[in-house]
Amino acid sequence: MIAAVRESDAYANLLLPTRIQRAALNTADAAFATELTYGTLRMQGFYDRVIALAANRPVDKIDPAILDVLRLGTHQLLGTRVATHAAVNESVSLAKQVGSQSATGFCNGVLRTISRTSLEEWTVQVLAGIDSVDERLAAEFSHPSWVVRAFRQALRAEGRETELEDLLAADNMAAKVNMVALPGLATNDDLALLGQPDEFAPTGFVLDGGDPYHLMSESGGRVRVQDEGSQIAALALSRARPILAGERWLDLCAGPGGKAALLAAEARAGGAVLVANELVPARAALVRNALAALPEPIPVWEVDGTLIGATHPATFDRILLDAPCTGLGALRRRPEARWRKKPKDVADLAGLQSGLIDAALVALKPGGILAYVTCSPHTAETRAIVALAVKKSAGTVTHLDTAAIVQSFSAANLDLPGDTGSVQLWPHRHGTDAMFITLLQRAE
C-alpha cells in the first residue's frame, strides 16, 4: 500500500478500502492495516529524520522499497504498541521480499537501532540544531514547513495563532468515521444503524462501529460517509434562507458528489431543483453514483465552470462553488497529500478559483446566494479569492452573515471568532476538516 502511494501517486483513502475488501480482512486486521498505512504516511517526515539518524545516511540514499519498509517498521516501533521483536522481525521478512540480502541486514540494523531509543528521545535528537520555530514544528509534527507557515497565517487571521500546535497535532490523529443521513430520504431503519448524532451538523452521525460502506450499500445511498464540515458547508447554502418552490440550484464543481447529494435532498424537500456540474468525466460518474439515491434523476453537466456565467447568466437562485483547492484542510483523511502539495500549487489554483467565483456570481439571479467553499484554510485560497471577487463586483455583491447562518442550524455553539462574513472550521477546534465557507449575495 505504501509502495502504491509512492510509485503510482495512489490515494490511500481510495485504494486502502478496496485492498482491505479484496483481502477479506476481519475488523481487527482491517483497523491495524489502516493504522499502519495512515500513521506511516502522516508521520513520514518525522520518521525519515529518525531513519536518517539511525542509518547515518540521508534517506534519499536508501533504496525506495527498503525505505518503505523502514518507515512502516519505524511507525510500529514509535507509533504503536506492537512488540519490538514482532515489528523488527516482520519488517525484516518484508525486506527480504523487496530487497537484497545486504539490504535486509541493513534494515535489521537500522530498526534495532531505532528500537533502543524512545520516541521522546528521538524527538530531542531530531529537533537538535533546528533554530526556526516553524521548522521545529514542521519536524516534530511531520508537516512541510510551508504548510506550517500557511496554517499560522490562517489562525492569525482569527487571533488564534496560539492554537497552531493543537492544529498540527490534530492533523496527525485518526479522523472519526462520519456519516450523513440524507434529509427526507433516510428511513428510521437507516438511522437505527448510525451512532451518536454529530455535535454541529443536524444531518450527521459519528459511526460507532461496523463497515460504513456496507451501510451505504444497504441503504441505497440514503446514508453515506461525509465529514461533518462538508455537511455544514452544504447546509450553509440550503438553509441560508427559506426555500421557495421552483428555485434553481447549481453545484458548480460537484465531484465526487457528497455535497451534491445533500443539496439535492434539501432542494427536494423545499420544492427546489438542483443541477450538478463536474468537468472531469470520471468525477462526473462519481457524482451520478452519489445522486442515484434520489428518487428523481438529477441532471449532471460536464462543462467548464468558468464559462457558466457566459452560458447561463442570471439563472440560479443558489450556487455552491466547492472550488478546486490544495486540500490542506483534509490532511487527517488524505495523509499523503501533505507531501505531494507544493507552494506553487496554491498560486496555480488561484487563477482557476478566481475564474470560477467570477463566473458563478454572474450566473446568480439578482438576490441569489453563492457559497464559496474550500477544503483548505490557506488564506490565498480563501479570504484573498473572496475579497478580490467582491472588489471586482463594484458593490453588486455583498457578504451575508455566514457565521450567524451556520449557528442558526448548528446543534451546538461552533466558537467562531473573527469575521462573521466567513466561517473557518478546524479539526482541533470542531473535529471537522478545515472547511472555509463564505456566503455572498448578488444585489437585487
> Which residues are annotated as part of the binding site?
253-259, 278, 304, 322
Question: What is the sign of the dihedral through the CA atoms of 325, 326, 332 and 333?
Answer: positive
Q: Which of 77, 175, 375, 385 is catalytic?
A: 375
Give whole-number Cα distances, 51 to 78, 82, 89, 112, 297, in Å: 12, 18, 17, 11, 54
Asked if 328 contacts 35 with a C-beta cutoff of 8 angstroms, the reply is no
SS3 content of the chain, % helix, strand, coil (to 5): 55, 10, 35
- 3-class DSSP assignment, residue 47: helix
DSSP states of 383-414 as a string?
HHHHHHHHHHTTTSEEE--HHHHHHHH-SS--
Q: Write the DSSP symbol of residue 336.
A: T
DSSP states of 217-248 as a string?
HHHTTSEEE--HHHHHHHHHHHTSSPPPTT-E
Q: Quick one: angle between helices 281-291 and 258-270, nearest 10?
A: 40
Cα–Cα distance, 202 to 411 (Å, whole number): 6
Annotated binding site for S-adenosyl-L-methionine: which residue ranges? 253-259, 278, 304, 322
Active site residue 375: yes
Cα–Cα distance, 391 to 399 (Å, whole number): 12
Asked if 109 contacts 62 with a C-beta cutoff of 8 angstroms, the reply is no
Residues labelled as active-site residues = 375
